[in-house]
Amino acid sequence: MTLNSIISIASHKGGVGKTMVTLNLGVTLARAGHNVLLIDGDPQGNLSMSIGMKKMSASGLYQVLQQKAELKDVVVKANKLPLSMIHLGIDAPLDLFNLSHGAQNKQLKKLKHLIQSLANNFDITLIDTANNIGSLNAILLSCSDSVIIPVTCKNNSFRSLPLLLKLLIRIRDRLNNKLSLLGLILPMFDVNNPYEREVLTTLREALPEGAFFSTFIPFTSLVEKAEKKEFPISFLPGAEELKKTYDKFSCEVIQRLEHNMKGDDDDDYPEKIF
């Protein structure tokens, strides 16, 4: 089955591992042979910094929209993997204001068409969105086929989940009737913490079966080390178990994408939330 899917990695709250999930899922899928595009959709550029791509162009999607750069010149390709990356190219508040408040949001509509056109050249496009509900995020979600939501079971960060789900439903109803929830992922889960286990049990009881991916990413100091070294986790020495975990997670992602493409009706999958 030929894949061609745009997935947004979205969260209402920072510090939940959203960028980490985007980067490491993208690298894992690329290592499995899928042609992957990473889009840094956060004006703060955390994904661009995390991947440590020193040759990343200062220009991005915004400059292409302004006809100040060619698309071929702002997409950066990895050396040994079928993995490419592009960022927004927004480095000043004025750029973000101009993009989000263009004449009747024409700039945002152009951005949507540009992303969809670019994504046609890849099997899977992963968008690392910003931690807000602004018009930019709405457009990024409106051009996506599905959404992965990272959730942590600590510091009450999970309490923003209902707000995000309501936003996704609103975007699906008004902007993109094909948008679906691919699943929720636990990227920093401490299985030895009784409070986190209790929170997870509560969340699973509140949401339909299949809402969570069965794979969870365990809490480990390797995450901080990877961020410091600007490497994907799977490239670090001693990260073999984490690499296997991301392999399992990526397989689940592919299975759910293929399920969505077939249009199967199955209660084990999270589309029922919508």
pLDDT tens readout for residues 13-59: 777 889 999 999 999 999 999 999 999 998 888 888 777 655 566 78
Question: Where do the structural domains in the chain lie, given as residue ranges?
Answer: 5-273
Percentage of the chain with pLDDT > 90? 36
Question: What's the topology of domain 5-273?
Answer: Rossmann fold (3.40.50)
Q: Are strands 83-87 and 5-9 parallel, antiparallel or unpaired?
A: unpaired
pLDDT at 274 over 50: no
Higher pLDDT, 94 or 33: 33
CA atoms within a 13 Å half-sphere pointing along the CA-CB vector of 100? 17
Least confident of 48-52, 178-182, 269-273: 269-273
Q: Which two tokens stand for residue 252?
A: 């689940």
CA separation, residue 244 to residues 78, 240, 270 (Å): 22, 6, 24
Element (H, E) at 149: strand 146-150
Q: Which two tokens stand for residue 232?
A: 């994907």
CA separation, residue 65 to residues 41, 95, 113, 123, 197 (Å): 15, 12, 10, 23, 46
- pTM for the predicted model, two decimal places: 0.90
pLDDT at 270 over 60: no
- SS3 call for 202: helix
How far apart CA 250 and CA 81 sit, in angstroms, is 16
How far apart CA 90 and CA 135 sit, in angstroms, is 15
